[in-house]
Structure 1
Amino acid sequence: MTPEDRFPGPEHPDSGPRHQPDLDVLPYGTYYEPDPNGGYSPTGYEAETYSGYGGARYLEQHWPATGPDQGHTVHSQNGPPEQAGYEPTLPDHPSPAHGGHPGDGPGPQSDDPPTIELGPPFAEPGQPYHPYPAPGPGEPPGPLYVVGDVHGYLDELRTELRHQGLIDADGHWSAGRSRIWFLGDFTDRGPDGIGVIDLVMQLAAEAAAAGGYCRALMGNHELLFLGAARYGDEPVQSTAGTASFLAAWRLNGGQQSDLERLEAHHISWLSRLPAIALEDGHLLLHSDTTAYLEYGESIPEVNDAVHDLLADEGVDEWWDCFRRFTKRFAFRGDAGPTAVRELLDAYGGTRVVHGHSPIPYLTGAVNSDDGMPPHVPGPYVYAEDLAVAMDGGVTMEGRLLVSRLPI
């Protein structure tokens, strides 16, 4: 099991409630590597590197084997990660209709749209709020970028955004009508999660003024961070006994300095983030799980259900939502393409783009003989080219990925 997202509870590595992929062999996939000369092509990547990652020995150490070893391991696995952990799971139960439990009931009791435009929820005194201008007649939208899990690594985020030409040397938006989607997980493990949130909120306002936009999805660590702030040590009912949001947050790399600097406008902004979005045929998710289907049959239904839950439901419902969106690995293995198609059929799009599961775990390249950090040349395309993984494993000395779509 990965050291990601741990809290007391039993472990089921497959996050897809409808499928049980073969966990002996990880899927073949494709890395897309940046231009070694430092420039970027119009599509963002020049060189395609085809890689067959088996990772069978690593999986045998952490998950029950269900079949013969059929993989080709290109990085040797010397043993388990330094910290063994638990990934959340839920007992089998019927999916709620149209969000059901925990998202049953009418939509939000406010005028907020289901997918809120990302920007400061409250205008600064004396500063006008800039709406997102639509492209003029015949004017195409700007290029589309996605950002993988940041986890508090503010300096690395600035470096990558600057490398892509999206911000200037002073950290301000410099990308005109470009569009950016952050895939969630701003905080925890890294040193400055609040700094990351402040930067994204700043860029949202600056991009809007320039005719572009900067938006973000809600990751499982947003749910965890908000839960720790709201419920603290209040007990929650888990399948393995009683725990709390605060305990789980600390176990998963929560930084006390982030909690101390969390303000009301951060809470308002985070709690209104959408869980799922569709841009240019790309279905954008934080987690590589089919649990989104348990919250609605359309993107507005899913986002409404999550927003309703955060606004009105209690600690156990919130905890249940956190656990569902912490599941992972639904798109790998033989059943992975089927799981991806299930989401695409429900919500639209031709390819899923997600964060959450670090690429070194998807490829089996967690450990190496020489003890060097895992090599992550770029986004990882897998599941019959239907899924793009964007979590470069910055928390494990991998990379913080910022990439232009399509890949």
Structure 2
Amino acid sequence: MTQGAGQEPVVRTATLRDFRVPPYAQTPVPPQAPSAVPPPTPPPHAPEPTAPAPHTAVPPSHPPTPPAPPATVEPPHAPAPHQAPPHPGNAAVGDEPPEGYTPTERDLPVINRGDTVKIQTVPEARPETGEGRGPLYVVGDVHGYLDELVAALAAQGLIDADGNWAAGNARLWFLGDFTDRGPDGIGVIDLVMRLSAEAAAAGGYCKALMGNHELLLIGAKRFSDTPVNSGAGTATFQAAWLLNGGQKSDMDRLQDVHLQWMSRLDAVVEEDGHLLMHSDTTAYLDYGSTIEDVNDTITAILTRNDADECWDLFRKLTKRFAFRDEGGADAVRELLSTYGGQRIVHGHSPIPYLLGEVGTEDGEDGSGPVVNGPHVYADGLAIAMDGGVTMAGKLLVVQLPLHD
């Protein structure tokens, strides 16, 4: 497998200064200077095992490093011929966006609810070493930021200094969106696949959910420029993937084992009273009245390999903010009453947007968005886990349940 991570400058996601800009405004971002740091080499991958095997330590080729400081991004301006194309932050395919198509919507109205609660997690919490079910951890959207992921996992004691599973019987769930925007999405997938094997051998597990960017990458690989019924003109998965942060280095290194692994991911699970899903949307209800039905239906759609059907699935799971505004708590209760659990834990919508923190990628004062931990809202029934790593925020890895 060609190890081509970081061969091209990374296009980071910029944010709009003004959330009142009309929807799907396309904001160009100047290209960044290539980093002087050599590109990381992603760790070897291992397919998810069907049964625990004897533990074999596999030293990674990408040791944990502290997160790099956010790059300075100048305010958007009109692109010159040599600059990058209009930024994908609000992009849709064609002149008009399909109805409900919001893969990376940045300019929806922000309502800063007075009843939202910011909480701190307990950083000193560590995996249990006894028998039975270990502690439960969740990981927010990674989007190709492998260095930040390794550092966050190590900080929680889930991996050791060599990047190997060190959490015994702990349970670790990734909430989806492994690729796009960041430099090494395939490296992230390889790491998760390897940790899945190592965790199973140690009596725990490391699992992952389907995010909308997994659907986008699968579609771009399978259907490329095949036109799909977007609801508003011609669209293709390939164009949507490129417009929304797709990295050529990821596509060049994408293998069948990655596609098969992504295609088998569940969309919804329930763990210890937590209903885990990627997107903050009620669209999951369109695919079944039980968790098993939802997961089976989505797997069947991907198996049928119909471009229009896959596009419709992608479109629905890109919807967001269903739990944020008036009626948000009722939307959460509808999902909980249908699928079970006492709280929803999701990624997809960055916490700075849910909180109404508006600014450039690095913040108006250059400090970046302040994300101290997960965001609890919707009458305490929803927990947001996307710390906004793509906008110089924070990649969150936390233990559940949360403690105020």
Structure 2 length as normaliser, TM-score? 0.72
Q: What amino acid does structure 2 have at the position aligned with 1:7?
A: A
Question: 2:124 maps to what in 1?
Answer: 40
Q: Distance in 2 between matches of 1:27 and 1:335?
A: 14
Q: Distance in 1 between matches of 2:99 and 2:207?
A: 32
Whether 1:399 and 2:391 are equivalent positions in the alignment is: no
Question: 2:178 maps to what in 1?
Answer: 186
Gaps (5+ residues) in structure 1? 16-20, 44-134
SS where residue 215 of structure 2 aligns?
A: helix
Q: What amino acid does structure 2 have at the position aligned with 1:350?
A: Q
Give CA deviations for 1:105-141 in whole Å, capped at 9, x if unaligned.
xxxxxxxxxxxxxxxxxxxxxxxxxxxxxx99xx430
Q: What amino acid does structure 2 have at the position aligned with 1:29?
A: T
Whether 1:227 and 2:227 are equivalent positions in the alignment is: no
Go from structure 1 to structure 2 and tell me whether the alpha carbon gap of 1:266 and 1:305 turns closer, same or farther (over 3 Å shift): same
SS where residue 181 of structure 1 aligns?
A: strand
SS where residue 33 of structure 1 aligns?
A: coil
Q: Distance in 2 between matches of 1:358 and 1:22?
A: 14
Q: Distance in 1 between matches of 2:215 and 2:90?
A: 12
Give CA deviations for 1:42-76 in whole Å, capped at 9, x if unaligned.
79xxxxxxxxxxxxxxxxxxxxxxxxxxxxxxxxx
Q: Distance in 2 between matches of 1:331 and 1:242?
A: 31
- Percent identity between matched residues is 61
Go from structure 1 to structure 2 and tell me whether the alpha carbon gap of 1:255 and 1:317 turns closer, same or farther (over 3 Å shift): same
Gaps (5+ residues) in structure 2? 1-22, 25-87
Aligned with residue 7 of structure 1, among 92, 96, 100: 92
SS where residue 167 of structure 1 aligns?
A: coil
Decide whether the 8 Å contact of 1:379 with 1:388 is kept in 2. yes
Give CA deviations for 1:362-390 in whole Å, capped at 9, x if unaligned.
00113254243100000000000000000
Aligned with residue 344 of structure 2, among 330, 341, 352: 352
Question: 1:107 maps to what in 2?
Answer: none
Question: 1:291 maps to what in 2?
Answer: 283
Decide whether the 8 Å contact of 2:280 with 2:347 is kept in 1. yes
Question: 1:81 maps to what in 2?
Answer: none
Q: Distance in 1 between matches of 2:240 and 2:135?
A: 38
Give CA deviations for 1:227-271 in whole Å, capped at 9, x if unaligned.
000000111111221010000000000001101101111111110
Q: Distance in 1 between matches of 2:219 and 2:126?
A: 41
Question: 1:379 maps to what in 2?
Answer: 374
Question: 1:274 maps to what in 2?
Answer: 266
Stretches of 4+ aligned residues off by more than 4 angstroms? 1-5, 10-15, 21-25
Decide whether the 8 Å contact of 1:27 with 1:383 is kept in 2. no
SS where residue 380 of structure 2 aligns?
A: coil
Decide whether the 8 Å contact of 2:101 with 2:316 is kept in 1. no
Question: 1:76 maps to what in 2?
Answer: none
Give CA deviations for 1:84-116 in whole Å, capped at 9, x if unaligned.
xxxxxxxxxxxxxxxxxxxxxxxxxxxxxxxxx
Q: Distance in 1 between matches of 2:165 and 2:112?
A: 43
Go from structure 1 to structure 2 and tell me whether the alpha carbon gap of 1:256 and 1:196 turns closer, same or farther (over 3 Å shift): same
Q: What amino acid does structure 2 have at the position aligned with 1:197?
A: I
Go from structure 1 to structure 2 and tell me whether the alpha carbon gap of 1:195 and 1:142 turns closer, same or farther (over 3 Å shift): same
Structure 1 length as normaliser, TM-score? 0.71
CA drift at 1:13: 9.1
Q: Distance in 2 between matches of 1:352 and 1:27?
A: 20
CA drift at 1:23: 6.2
Go from structure 1 to structure 2 and tell me whether the alpha carbon gap of 1:4 and 1:289 turns closer, same or farther (over 3 Å shift): farther
SS where residue 218 of structure 1 aligns?
A: coil
Decide whether the 8 Å contact of 1:27 with 1:333 is kept in 2. no
Higher mean displacement: 233-242 or 191-200: 233-242
SS where residue 119 of structure 2 aligns?
A: strand
Decide whether the 8 Å contact of 2:101 with 2:315 is kept in 1. no
Decide whether the 8 Å contact of 1:27 with 1:332 is kept in 2. no
Whether 1:197 and 2:192 are equivalent positions in the alignment is: no
